[in-house]
Structure 1
Amino acid sequence: MANLDGLPLSRKQILSIAASAHARTTIWSGAVRSGKTIASLVAFLIQVSQAPPSGLVLICGRTLQTIERNILEPMQDPALFGAVADLVHHTRGAPTATILGRTVHLIGASDARAEGRLRGLTACLALLDEGTLVPEGFFNQLLARLSVPGAKCLITTNPDGPGHWLRKNFILRSADLGIAHFHFTLDDNPALDPAYVAAIKAEYVGLFYRRFVLGEWCMAEGAIYDMWDADQHVVDTVPPIWKWLAAGVDYGTTNPLHGVLVGMDASQTLYVASEYRYDSKEHRRSLTDTEYSAAFGRWLARYRQDNMPSTVAGVRPETVVVDPSASSFIQQLWRDGWSPTAANNAVADGIRTVSTLLAGGKLKVHRSCRALIDEFPSYSWDETKALRGEDVPIKVEDHGLDALRYAVHTTEASWRLPHMADPLQWRRAPDGLDLATVPL
């Protein structure tokens, strides 16, 4: 075995890299920032250098953008891979990359139709990023396309619900199927700063702590925001706001339209300062997009911030974050001089963002936002869908919470705490990696 002294790799990472040289399928699952991705990248680069000349080399993920962010950009980082990074070439948006002189095809799999992109091809090597996020049909088709003798499939994933097909059909049957499976927790990554580990453990709570710190496959059940405490999170006064981040809008015609105004103070605490709600069922009249936009503008123009002179009224947030399905309302806001943004509607990710802020005491709600406050205690996971491996909230009385999730999650880059500014900092290695020292 080659000398690995000084490499930022744990024993588990080294074992997984070595095992991937012999197993047809290798799965790295577990916590965020636990070292599973860097191990899979090292294994992939080794396999690319040894791949048979026949058959395609593939990198698959939910979208081309996530493949670029999670796979290609780290491989092009000389702080991680030293001189090897110079042998990874990709033009952003292109469907192929050149890695160690080999053409690599990049395939996004955001929906069931993605399976068709694999039909007819023959592959010798595939790296699948975030396996739980691609459709089951795509995954099965991918395995079927790896028909070249000695073909290999490398898979990384964060855990999901215990009923997820990847866990039931492959991970739990790994011994029978000859799959090399390695489970990682946050403590398995030797390259992490202890202060960073402590911060991550403090920020994640409940379901997300079990999944993203402990790496458990656990079911979403019960209250979603079980850390919500009205005594702690509801305030009578909003301090001076340093930045008005956004007004989040959950659009409705038969359902209520709900808007929330979110700002950040000098301590980087987020405040829901005011809400706007129009329920057509209560008023017995639906509003047009033009009327909604005008009412929305009046709401923001009339808002008076605490501790400001009575003559000072009105706020203009940096953006208006709108339910992405409300395209006509977004267009109306543009016509009326606002700067609307279609919300990032990744539900589970958005819930995790809000949960982290609540648990850390970094999200407060003004007492005047009565409808939003009433929604927090009853917001729950759909346990029927959780049994099928789906993390989905029960869609009842959630309009204010959706608006809040849109505003907070979509503007994350504007308020994210400094120690989370570099999502790749856990991967940094001062001397890079020398693939020649990794045992095969």
Structure 2
Amino acid sequence: MFDLARVTAVLSPKQITSIVESSRARISIWAGAVRSGKTIASLLAFLIAVAAAPDHGLIVICGRTRETIERNIIEPLQDGSLFGPLATQVHHTRGSNTAVILGRTVHLIGAYDVRSEGRLRGLTACLAYVDEATLVPEAFWTQLLARLSVPGARLLATTNPDGPAHWLRQQFLLRAPQLNLASWHFTLDDNPALPADYVRSLKAEFVGLWFRRMILGEWCLAEGAVFDMWDTERHIVRELPAIRRWIAVGIDYGTTNPFAALALGLGVDNVLYLGHEWRWDSKQQRGQLTDAQYSERLRAWLKGIGVHPQWTIVDPSAASFVTQLHQDGLTPAAGDNAVLNGIRTVASLLGRGRLKVHASCHGFINEIPGYSWDPDKAAKGEDAPIKADDHSLDAARYAVHTTQSAWRSDLKEAV
């Protein structure tokens, strides 16, 4: 079924070892850096397991959502450059909750919240594959293991590392000898198929916490400053270059808390600039504004600084303000509030020197040095910043992270 000579030629020794050793374990976990080769190794092991699976018992692929399963698992399995003729034996209609792999029906199950484990109740499985295991609820994982009751049943999983207190590490990886569990740790340098230029670029894109996790594959604690790469000499500018276009104004809405708006522009030097900021702190100003007043003052501020942004990106929880902006002729869009992903985007840009801040953005400049990871949540295995003094930071994150499609190609040209 497999062209072993071809497989051996393109895989690293660690990938080959993991494929072979996984066949002898009930639970196999490939953990480590992004693009480190762990997924390809695990998928090859999964195809071998599908071919050898018992006729009775279901085969399931689990992930955060069905869409992520399609993107991360099904599409790679259908790539002939990766899996050769085997790719033609992977059939799936987008949106369907099943696929046919090597002639076997495979069920695709999303596991996005604690209620997801109910989807597993009553089924009997002989083989399971879990994509990004740290993102599925612990109750789902536990229920899945209970459903793998066919003799010789196996679970294969991949994951990027999380905090050292995460349940997957504490309850499973550290207890491997007791659980018939095999695991392999991959770093970015373990993938021989990646071009050297790409590896250098990827290492430059991840900084701080994400460099340790996504490049080195470490299970490390989120601690200290969130933006530990922030350098006032490097990141603050007193004069803006010519701005090719104003991409967005990001808005963090507040009534008792400060209202913050920051304008994001792309300079002629292919660097992003937070060039202007407007804030209203009702406590300092000793008066709250209505949605209509916020809209009026925001529009007057943009007119006064001569900025006509392509997008107005608003705090997604500010439904009443979004309605007001629509009534006033604007077309606001809800900000992407995936906090960790947004922080990572901003951190990457700061680390690469591709995001700079004008000295007039006092709120942002005052907030960023003290923006820290929450140690109490980190101790429980959760990555989250302390929610305090982050209004301008949130506005900037909405503007930067939500509009990636508008600036990524420009910044890549400059690398």
TM-score, length basis structure 2: 0.94
What's the CA shift string for 1:324-372, capped at 9, x where partnerless? 2223323333333333222222222211111111111110001111011
What's the CA shift string for 1:17-71, capped at 9, x where partnerless? 1122221110000111101111111111222222222222211111222212211
| Residue 117 (structure 1) aligns with | 119
| Residue 325 (structure 2) aligns with | 333
Higher mean C-alpha deviation, range 401-410 or range 200-209: 200-209
Quote the Cα distance in structure 2 between the aligned partners of 1:268 and 1:122: 55
Quote the Cα distance in structure 1 between the aligned partners of 2:192 and 2:23: 23
Quote the Cα distance in structure 1 between the aligned partners of 2:109 and 2:328: 39
Cα distance change, pair 375–189 in 1 and its aligned pair in 2 (3 A): same
Higher relative CO (Cα under 8 Å, sequence separation at least 6) belongs to: 1
Q: Residue 247 of structure 2 aligns to a residue in which SS?
A: strand
Equivalent pairs, count:
411
Q: CA offset at residue 420 of structure 1?
A: 6.8
Quote the Cα distance in structure 1 between the aligned partners of 2:277 and 2:57: 57
User: Could you tell me which of 220, 224, 227 is aligned with 1:225?
Assistant: 227
| Residue 343 (structure 2) aligns with | 351
TM-score, length basis structure 1: 0.89
Quote the Cα distance in structure 2 between the aligned partners of 1:302 and 1:141: 59
Higher mean C-alpha deviation, range 29-38 or range 199-208: 199-208
Does the 8 Å CA contact 2:8/2:16 hold for their aligned counterparts?
A: no
Q: CA offset at residue 99 of structure 1?
A: 2.1
What's the CA shift string for 1:57-112, capped at 9, x where partnerless? 21111122221221122122222222322222223222222222222222222211
| Residue 371 (structure 1) aligns with | 363
Quote the Cα distance in structure 2 between the aligned partners of 1:245 and 1:18: 50
Amino acid at match of 1:119: R
Higher mean C-alpha deviation, range 120-129 or range 155-164: 120-129
| Residue 434 (structure 1) aligns with | none
Quote the Cα distance in structure 1 between the aligned partners of 2:95 and 2:329: 31
RMSD: 1.9
| Residue 428 (structure 1) aligns with | none
User: Could you tell me which of 17, 20, 24 is aligned with 1:15?
Assistant: 17
Q: Residue 394 of structure 1 aligns to a residue in which SS?
A: coil
Higher mean C-alpha deviation, range 137-146 or range 250-259: 250-259
| Residue 394 (structure 1) aligns with | 386
Pairwise mapping of residues 75-224 of structure 1 onto structure 2 (< 5 A)? 75-224=77-226
Q: CA offset at residue 170 of structure 1?
A: 0.4
Q: Residue 220 of structure 1 aligns to a residue in which SS?
A: coil
Amino acid at match of 2:20: A
User: Could you tell me which of 287, 293, 296 is aligned with 1:294?
Assistant: 296
| Residue 414 (structure 1) aligns with | 406
| Residue 317 (structure 1) aligns with | 309
Q: CA offset at residue 283 of structure 1?
A: 3.0
Quote the Cα distance in structure 2 between the aligned partners of 1:290 and 1:87: 58
Q: CA offset at residue 408 of structure 1?
A: 1.3
Quote the Cα distance in structure 2 between the aligned partners of 1:420 and 1:91: 34
User: Could you tell me which of 6, 18, 36 is aligned with 2:38?
Assistant: 36
User: Could you tell me which of 261, 270, 273 is aligned with 2:272?
Assistant: 270
Does the 8 Å CA contact 2:229/2:351 hold for their aligned counterparts?
A: yes
Amino acid at match of 2:197: A
Cα distance change, pair 167–419 in 1 and its aligned pair in 2 (3 A): farther
> Which has the larger helix fraction?
2
What's the CA shift string for 1:185-205, capped at 9, x where partnerless? 010000011111112222322
Quote the Cα distance in structure 1 between the aligned partners of 2:52 and 2:308: 57
Q: Residue 58 of structure 1 aligns to a residue in which SS?
A: strand
Amino acid at match of 1:224: V
Q: Which runs of 4+ in 1 moved over 4 A?
A: 417-421
What's the CA shift string for 1:383-436, capped at 9, x where partnerless? 111111111101110011111112211222222257979xxxxxxxxxxxxxxx
Q: Residue 221 of structure 2 aligns to a residue in which SS?
A: coil
Quote the Cα distance in structure 2 between the aligned partners of 1:357 and 1:188: 25
Amino acid at match of 1:386: A
Quote the Cα distance in structure 2 between the aligned partners of 1:129 and 1:199: 25
Cα distance change, pair 125–232 in 1 and its aligned pair in 2 (3 A): same
Quote the Cα distance in structure 1 between the aligned partners of 2:309 and 2:82: 39
Cα distance change, pair 287–49 in 1 and its aligned pair in 2 (3 A): farther
Amino acid at match of 1:62: R
Quote the Cα distance in structure 2 between the aligned partners of 1:46 and 1:369: 56
| Residue 375 (structure 2) aligns with | 383
Q: CA offset at residue 184 of structure 1?
A: 0.2
Does the 8 Å CA contact 2:126/2:150 hold for their aligned counterparts?
A: yes
| Residue 360 (structure 1) aligns with | 352
| Residue 429 (structure 1) aligns with | none
Quote the Cα distance in structure 1 between the aligned partners of 2:264 and 2:336: 16
Quote the Cα distance in structure 1 between the aligned partners of 2:15 and 2:133: 19
| Percent sequence identity over aligned pairs | 60
Q: CA offset at residue 4 of structure 1?
A: 4.5
Cα distance change, pair 152–332 in 1 and its aligned pair in 2 (3 A): farther
Higher mean C-alpha deviation, range 202-211 or range 169-178: 202-211
**Unaligned stretches of 5+ in structure 1?**
304-312, 422-440
Quote the Cα distance in structure 1 between the aligned partners of 2:187 and 2:38: 9
| Residue 64 (structure 1) aligns with | 66
Quote the Cα distance in structure 1 between the aligned partners of 2:7 and 2:59: 31
Q: Residue 116 of structure 2 aligns to a residue in which SS?
A: helix
Does the 8 Å CA contact 1:318/1:339 hold for their aligned counterparts?
A: no
Quote the Cα distance in structure 2 between the aligned partners of 1:5 and 1:129: 22
**Unaligned stretches of 5+ in structure 2?**
none
Cα distance change, pair 242–89 in 1 and its aligned pair in 2 (3 A): farther
| Residue 425 (structure 1) aligns with | none
